[in-house]
A and B are shown apart, each in its own frame.
Chain A
Amino acid sequence: MLEHYMQQGSSFASQIDGLVWMIFLMTTFWFLLVEGILFWLLWRFRARPGHKAVYLDDHAEHAFEVKWIEIPHRVILLCDVAVIIGAITVWSEVKLSAPAPDEVVRVVAQQWAWTFTHAGRDGKLDTADDIVTIDELHVQVGKTYSYELGAKDVLHSFSIPVFRLKQDAIPGRVITGWFKPTIVGEFDVQCAEICGIGHGIMPARLYVETPEAHAAWIANPTHYLAYKF
């Protein structure tokens, strides 16, 4: 369902979308069922002359409770278990598993810009050929990346909707995570945690490139904002 609105751009995007789809089916079923019963009852038991409401004493009520409460209770519990299993499976894949990365990228958020440190030609961070860009992230399709996320001032959130990736950045901490781009293109990077008056002007662009294009960019990054620290 989500893929209709937002392409699936990472290895785990389809899993998240699958979980959403499952929850959507279940909740839609319950929603329609309950609303249906509600409106049917409203129609069926509307006040009419000569009709009197029934009176259920505690004993009569008890029989009804099995039908109205206990059975739905168990079915909901079953649905809940399914949702929980799905949620934990997806969560473990996205946030708990840490596949060995092909490359590490450093992301630092501040009011109101993103600084990305790419490993450069040697594939290692903190070497002379690191490429530092502002508000531009370049990755190669099919490679597994690990990110080191930090913040300089306030909370930010590193969100790439097309990857289904979102992680808050906290000053004073480095939070790691991973992603593996699966489609080539140019996408949004957004800040998803309010970070002051410039929160709405803190976009960055993500460029997922073919191996050739990515190599070309590494070879000639000069026309991008490049800094040496």
Chain B
Amino acid sequence: MAETHGHEAHGHDAHGHHEEGWFVKYFWSTDHKMIAKQYLLTGMLLGAVGAYFAYVFRMQLAFPNKPVPGYGLVTGADYNALVTNHGAIMIFWVAMPVLIAAFGNFLIPLMVGCDDMVFPRLNRLSYQIFLVSALVLAASFFVQGGAFGGAWTSYPPLSAKAEYSLTDLGPTLWLAAVALEFVAFLLGGINFVTTAMNSRAPGMKAFDIPMAVWMIVIASILFMCSVGPLVAGAVMLMFDQQVGTGFFDPDRGGDPVLWQHLFWFFGHPEVYVVLLPALGFVAEIITTFSRKRLFAYRTVLYTTIGTGVLSFFVWAHHQFIAGIDPRMANVFSVTTVLISIPIAEMTFVYIATLFGGSISFRVPMLWALAFIAEFLMGGVTGIFLGASGADIYFHDTYFVVAHFHYTFFPIAIIGTFAGLTYWFPKMFGRHMNETVNKVHFWITITCFNGIFLPLFVLGAAGDHRRIFDYGNFPELSQPWMQDLRVFATVSLLIMLAVQPLFLANFFYSMFKGRKAEANPWKANTLEWQCPSPPPHGNFSPLPEVYRGPYEYSAEGRADDFWPQNSPT
């Protein structure tokens, strides 16, 4: 410990509480909580855009070539642009900013017990670059030829040449937006990792760090270590698009498959980059609402690190049939199937945590449990795709689509709702209406299964992805298949219809909700030991830590919780 505590106690005043103009307060703030809210609202806005795209192309699939209300007729080019950007937005501009950036920014300083990120201005810059990336992406919809439609994986040569994609600037703007987003998250990641490593409250040892912080930090490290090759690849692809180099052009000595390696070397760890924060939230929530210590804290940590390391060696399972050496598929099949072990262990640990607990089904808990229950489906269906022999049939069918939505929907949507409903009182100092949220929960979860369960069946029947009209394929346009598509679309419509319920509750409660006390859930972690919402500087004085984050129901205490900073 370099500093003295006396120094810290005074340091707090140095922040000052001078009046700031609204621009400085809302747009130029370096306060981690404000930056978190900026990320959150931007992510929610873009989430609405991604959901709108899903609505349009699901309508086209259910009712082919009929004008979609609120959009119009969907052409092949429109369809490709919609699915491409739906995927890209949901992963890069919703899951990452909300799960990692918004919650990371909000939670890390509060959970490790300090007043801000270590580099507040870098943090602000990171959000601004992210905002620019979103604007560049938005711009790509309004250029000549329309938005990029080469799938979120952006495989060349289709993405490299305008004569193939029939869009000139769209692919370049899309790529530039993605690259900018990476830069934003590299800056953010450095901040998260450094803050968690260096700015912990006195007394907080490695195993006293709440799982949510660990998970966001490990996710940031995974991101930093995996994104580099894709950044290099993006530069190369951009030169192919606009300067005329031939990195990925087979006619000129280039190799299109190289891009796939660069992309998936990042793309697979990226799944864990967004998965881990959600797993972290679930750990916080299930311990709080079952009043139990997190079972096997160290096992969770080690399996997380194990999964992270293993995730660098599985990328080619996306390319089994892509023309790589078929012998390589055997190696990647082994590594891929083995990743089931750490993930399964993590699931078991979470479920074992519930054993002997006292479980109350508050809204955040419902979401957290739904995460476990639904993510399990995503996990087991992954085995079909990791097994090379079975993947020959399932590759690029709706089975894949259903599989990764059973992972990404729990991560990005269920995980976000879990986190939002859990930390809402801390973020805004008020409670949301729980009844409304319960109605919203049950309808959303039911409809989610209604959308994606039929897609497993469609995939098993050979339904290929990214085809805008099945009328051209007799085997895929059988009436029972069309019925399933309609069923999925109707489920989506109902799900979308109930989201305004949550949004209304969210924004109403933000200003008019019941006032929240500092620790409404009686939780242990440090963020609950400061006022709701936390003032500038968070703690006064800054806390010291005496124990781990999950000491619930310890024997011999009147309370069933034991805050980390409570000396006795």
Looking at the complex, which one of B290, B293, B554 makes contact with A45 (CB distance below 8 Å)? B290
| Interface check A76, CB cutoff 8 A | yes
A16 touches B381 (CB 8 A): no
Min CB distance, A215 to chain B, in Å? Answer: 26
Docked-complex contact B77 and A23, CB < 8 angstroms: no
Q: Considering the chains assembled together, what is the distance between the CA atoms of A173 and B255 in angstroms?
A: 10
Q: Which of B99-140 contact A (CB under 8 A)?
A: none
- Contact residues of B between 276 and 308, Cβ < 8 Å to A: 290-293, 295-296, 299
Q: Which residues of B contact A56 (CB under 8 A)?
A: 293, 295, 356
B240 to chain A, nearest CB (A): 13
Cβ of B332 to closest chain A Cβ, rounded Å: 10
Which residue from B80, B359, B383 sits with its C-beta under 8 Å from A23?
A: B383
B467 interface contact, C-beta 8 A? yes
Contact present for B552 and A69 (CB under 8 Å): no
Tell me the B128-180 residues at the A interface (CB within 8 Å): 149-151, 155, 157-158, 164-166
**B326:A91 contact, CB within 8 angstroms:** yes
Contacting pair B166 A197 (CB below 8 A): yes
Cβ-based interface call for B27 (8 A): no
B229 at the interface (CB under 8 A from A): no
Using a Cβ–Cβ cut-off of 8 Å, how many residues does chain A contribute to the interface with B?
89
Residues of chain B within 8 A (CB-CB) of A93 are 389
Q: Given A6-B461, A31-B380, A91-B326, does the pair A46, B337 have CB atoms closer than 8 Å? A: no
Residues of B close to A199: CB separation below 8 A: 76, 80, 466-468
B441: chain A residues within 8 A (beta carbon): none
Cβ–Cβ < 8 Å partners of A55 in chain B: 292-293, 552-555
Taking the closest CB of chain B, its distance from the CB of A68, in whole angstroms, is 4
User: Could you say which of A68, A84, A194, A202 contacts B151, with CB atoms under 8 Å apart?
Assistant: A194
Interface membership of chain A positions 33-68, coded 1 if the CB is closer than 8 angstroms to chain B and 0 otherwise: 011011001100111100111111000010011001
Instruction: Check B344 for interface membership: any CB of A closer than 8 A.
Output: yes
Residues of chain A within 8 A of B389, CB atoms compared: 15-16, 19, 86-91, 93-94
**What does the 1/0 interface line of A186-229 toward B look like (CB < 8 Å)?**
01101111111111111100000000000000000000000000
Q: Measured between C-beta atoms, what is the minimum distance from B377 to chain A in Å?
A: 7
Q: Does B434 contact A (CB under 8 A)?
A: no
CB < 8 Å neighbour of A61 from B79, B296, B381, B469: B296
User: Is A2 within 8 A of B333, CB to CB?
Assistant: no
Does B271 interact with chain A (Cβ within 8 Å)? no
The distance from the CB of B525 to the nearest CB of chain A, in whole angstroms, is 17
Complex CA gap A58/B81 in Å reads: 53
* CB proximity of A175 to chain B, nearest CB, Å: 6
Is the C-beta of B327 less than 8 angstroms from some C-beta in chain A? Answer: yes
CA distance A89 to B388 in the complex (A): 10
Cβ < 8 Å to A, chain B residues 375-403: 376-377, 380-381, 383-384, 386-390, 392-393, 395-397
The interface residues of chain B lying within 8 Å CB-to-CB of A154 are 155, 157-158, 164
> By the criterion CB–CB under 8 Å, are B560 and A53 in contact?
yes
B76-96 contact mask (Cβ, 8 Å, vs A): 1 or 0: 110110000000000000000
Q: Nearest-CB distance from A92 to chain B (Å)? A: 8
CB pair B76–A197 under 8 Å, yes or no, is yes
Task: Report, as a range, how many residues of chain B touch the other chain.
Answer: 35 or more
Residues in A with CB closer than 8 Å to B79 are 200
Given A16-B389, A196-B166, A153 and B157 contact (CB-CB distance below 8 Å):
yes
Contact, CB under 8 Å: A16 / B354: no
A163-196 contacts to B (CB < 8 Å): 164-173, 175, 187-188, 190-196
Which residue from chain A places its CB closest to the CB of B78 in the assembled complex? A197
A72 to B377, CA, bound (A): 18
Does residue B49 face the partner (Cβ distance < 8 Å to A)?
no
Q: B251 an interface residue at 8 Å Cβ cutoff?
A: yes
A24 to B: closest C-beta gap in Å = 8
Chain B contacts for A161, CB-based, 8 A = 393, 462, 475
For the complex, is A27 an interface residue (Cβ under 8 Å from B)?
A: yes
B369 part of interface (Cβ distance < 8 Å): yes
A-B pairs with beta carbons under 8 A, tally: 288
B369 touches A91 (CB 8 A): no
CB distance B76 to A198 under 8 Å? yes
Q: B526 an interface residue at 8 Å Cβ cutoff? A: no
> Taking the complex as formed, is A77 at the interface, i.e. its CB lies under 8 A from any CB of chain B?
yes
Asked whether A190 and B473 contact (CB < 8 A) given A45-B358, A90-B390, the answer is: yes
Q: Is the C-beta of A140 less than 8 angstroms from some C-beta in chain B? A: no
Contact of B472 among A96, A171, A187, A203 (CB under 8 A): A203
Contact B555 A168 (CB under 8 A): no
Within 8 Å by CB of B359, from A19, A47, A153, lies A47
B351 at the interface (CB under 8 A from A): yes
Q: Tell me the residues in window 297-338 of chain B with beta carbons closer than 8 Å to chain A beta carbons.
A: 299, 320-323, 326-327, 329-330, 333-334, 337-338
Chain A residues with Cβ below 8 Å from B357 are 41, 45, 53-54
A102, CB-defined interface residue at 8 Å: no
Indicate if B340 sits at the interface (CB-CB under 8 A). yes
In the bound assembly, the distance between CA atoms of A187 and B338 in angstroms comes to 36
A-chain residues with CB within 8 Å of residue B77 when the two chains form the complex: 197
Q: B256 interface residue, CB < 8 Å from A? A: yes
Interface contact A155-B157, CB-CB below 8 Å:
yes
Interface contact B329-A1, CB-CB below 8 Å: no
**Are the CB atoms of B380 and A171 closer together than 8 Å?**
no
On whether the beta carbons of A20 and B384 are closer than 8 Å, the reply is yes
The verdict on A126 contacting chain B, using a C-beta distance below 8 Å, is no
Q: Which of B166, B337, B554 is in CB contact (< 8 Å) with A84? A: B337
**Bound CA span A76–B344, Å:** 8
- Residue ID in chain A nearest B298 by CB atoms: A58
Chain B residues within an 8 Å CB radius of A171: 157, 250-251, 256
Q: Are A68 and B396 closer than 8 Å at their CB atoms?
A: no
Given contacts A45-B356, A53-B290, A53-B356, contact A95 B329 (CB under 8 A): yes
Smallest CB gap from A31: residue in B: B380
Q: Mark A92-119, 1 if CB is under 8 A from B, else 0.
A: 1111100000000000000100000000
Tell me which residues across on chain A come within 8 A of B337, comparing CB atoms: 80, 83-84, 87
B360 interface hit (Cβ, 8 Å): yes
* The 5 nearest A-B residue pairs measured at CB: A172-B250, A90-B389, A87-B387, A161-B462, A5-B461
19 cross-chain CB contacts under 8 A: A6-B475, A15-B389, A20-B390, A20-B393, A27-B380, A42-B369, A45-B357, A83-B387, A86-B389, A157-B321, A161-B393, A162-B475, A166-B321, A168-B323, A173-B323, A190-B467, A194-B465, A196-B166, A201-B472
Since A89-B389, A190-B473, A194-B151 are in contact, a sample of 11 more A-B pairs with Cβ atoms closer than 8 Å, ordered by chain A residue number, is: A41-B351, A53-B357, A84-B334, A88-B333, A91-B320, A166-B396, A170-B256, A188-B474, A190-B467, A192-B396, A197-B76
